[in-house]
Structure 1
Amino acid sequence: MEQQESTARPLTEANDFGKFEHGCQHYRRRCKIRAPCCDQIFPCRHCHNEAMSSLSNPEDCHELVRQDVNQVVCLICNTEQQVAQVCSNCGVNMGEYYCDICKFYDDDTNKGQFHCEECGICRVGGRDNFFHCKKCGSCYSTNLYDNHSCVENSMKNFCPVCYEYLFDSIKGTRIMKCGHTMHMDCFSAMGEQNQFRCPICSKTVFDMSNSWRSLDEEIEAVAMPEVYQYEVSILCNDCNNTSNVRFHILGHKCSHCNSYNTRRISAPDDQ
């Protein structure tokens, strides 16, 4: 490794030198990382993963294991060195926030970064605002403590809309009433497309009470012709109960929970 001329500064001046002036679209930081998997230098692991996932040869595609990083390059003095918060040559803080386990640097501490021992990675949002759900296998906002449906390792799955791995995604996530999770922006987009069911279990994820009342009124107002006046068996996606109900072209209401999120499981006996 090429020897670098010392650019040491007084400690109080060096720590903040160049803060917020360097980094990438993902993080503001004053160093780059050398990826041990391919021996290339990148601004961060996300930049590495995006570059590697776009390679034409699928066999060359791979992701960086953050804990395996052991070399970084200071962006102030260009010294390559072992991972540490402070540059061994110029004394600058290469990241105002630094985690020695995740090899993670970030100058923007307003994100409230913290390392969760049980997740094994760094999270954002402030340690006091989150708790770790052992069954779900991830950190959730404290307002969900004892107030969410647990699904084992629900965060260690892919978003059912965009299929990005949720556990270490830098995007915000949403836990739905059924306990399954997806990105917040994917959840919003799903609502804008009038898709009210969980893509995984088909349970209702939005408040549909107004819609169900409207269906009640429409069904009451629209009588079915005599030829269609028969019963069908339905399964409710919300409560998992079965019912025998009068057929109607507009929908079938669960007799247990009053949801219209149902599906027919049998045809009429005489059809």
Structure 2
Amino acid sequence: MDMEMELDAARHGFAKMGFGCKFFDDDVDKEQYHCKDCGICRVGGKDNFFHCHKCGSCYSVTLRDKHVCIEDSMKNNCPICYEYLFDSLREASVLRCGHTMHLQCFHEMLKHDKFTCPMCSVSIFDMEKFLRALDAEIEAKFLHMGKGWIVCNHCWDTTRVYPGMTGQRKCCHCQSYNTCRVAPSVLPA
């Protein structure tokens, strides 16, 4: 069977014939296509996606050269609903850190005011404007939390905080407030 016949068969629900796939759907409006690198048929139109060889999956062309690669990142379960992402028919989202989840789960997370990756705690948005406003608020209220250490969940740097220092929870390296207090005994040597 030539490639055009195989593609036509895949578009009409006979993907198993030519590609060994088990994806059956004759709704051609879904623009089914076969990704030879993934080894499965996908929906959404071949021209709208590219295969990232490092991540091991197909992503929207809007992410080409604009995402952090994590090897086989889609070959994991969604951290919210635990459904396997690689062959899921639900749309996936790639976070700034490179971790992946279903787009619907991402939106649910936002509804619950969760703005960090559930896998690594890195901020999921550019927080610069928010951080400037928070700096101003902290300056006005003068936070006093005492002597101690914090670790940044964004850049993983540790910072010593002193009494009287404003912005006690602010990372001195990347300026993020996505930090948590740690005891000196858990700091890397």
When the two chains are superposed, the root-mean-square deviation of aligned CA atoms in Å is 2.4
Alignment of 1:111-190 (within 5 A): 111-190=30-109
Determine the C-alpha separation between the residues in 2 that align with 1:163 and 1:104. Answer: 21
**1:252 maps to 2:173:** no
CA displacement at 1:223 relative to structure 2: 2.6
**1:243 maps to 2:150:** no
Unaligned runs of 5+ in 1: 1-92
Q: TM-score, normalised on structure 1?
A: 0.58
Give the match's secondary structure for 1:152: coil
Among the aligned pairs, what percent are the same residue?
Answer: 52
CA displacement at 1:180 relative to structure 2: 0.3
Counterpart of 2:25 (choices 97, 103, 106) is: 106
Length, aligned pairs only: 172
Q: Is the 8 A contact 2:143 2:168 kept in 1?
A: no
Determine the C-alpha separation between the residues in 2 that align with 1:232 and 1:210. Answer: 27
Runs (4+) of structure 1 moved beyond 3 Å? 246-251
Determine the C-alpha separation between the residues in 1 that align with 2:168 and 2:76. Answer: 33
Counterpart of 2:178 (choices 261, 264, 268) is: 261
| Deviation digits for residues 32-78 of structure 1 (CA, Å, limit 9, x no counterpart) | xxxxxxxxxxxxxxxxxxxxxxxxxxxxxxxxxxxxxxxxxxxxxxx
CA displacement at 1:245 relative to structure 2: 2.8
CA displacement at 1:175 relative to structure 2: 0.5
Alignment of 1:196-211 (within 5 A): 196-211=115-130
Alignment of 1:19-30 (within 5 A): none
Q: Is the 8 A contact 1:251 1:260 kept in 2?
A: no
Unaligned runs of 5+ in 2: 1-8, 185-189
Determine the C-alpha separation between the residues in 1 that align with 2:107 and 2:168. Answer: 25
CA displacement at 1:234 relative to structure 2: 1.4
Q: TM-score, normalised on structure 2?
A: 0.82
Rg comparison, structure with higher value: 1
CA displacement at 1:213 relative to structure 2: 2.3
CA displacement at 1:170 relative to structure 2: 0.8
CA displacement at 1:98 relative to structure 2: 2.6
Determine the C-alpha separation between the residues in 2 that align with 1:190 and 1:249. Answer: 30
Higher helix proportion (structure 1 or 2): 2
Determine the C-alpha separation between the residues in 2 that align with 1:249 and 1:173. Answer: 40
Determine the C-alpha separation between the residues in 1 that align with 2:166 and 2:105. Answer: 31
The amino acid of 2:161's aligned partner reads V
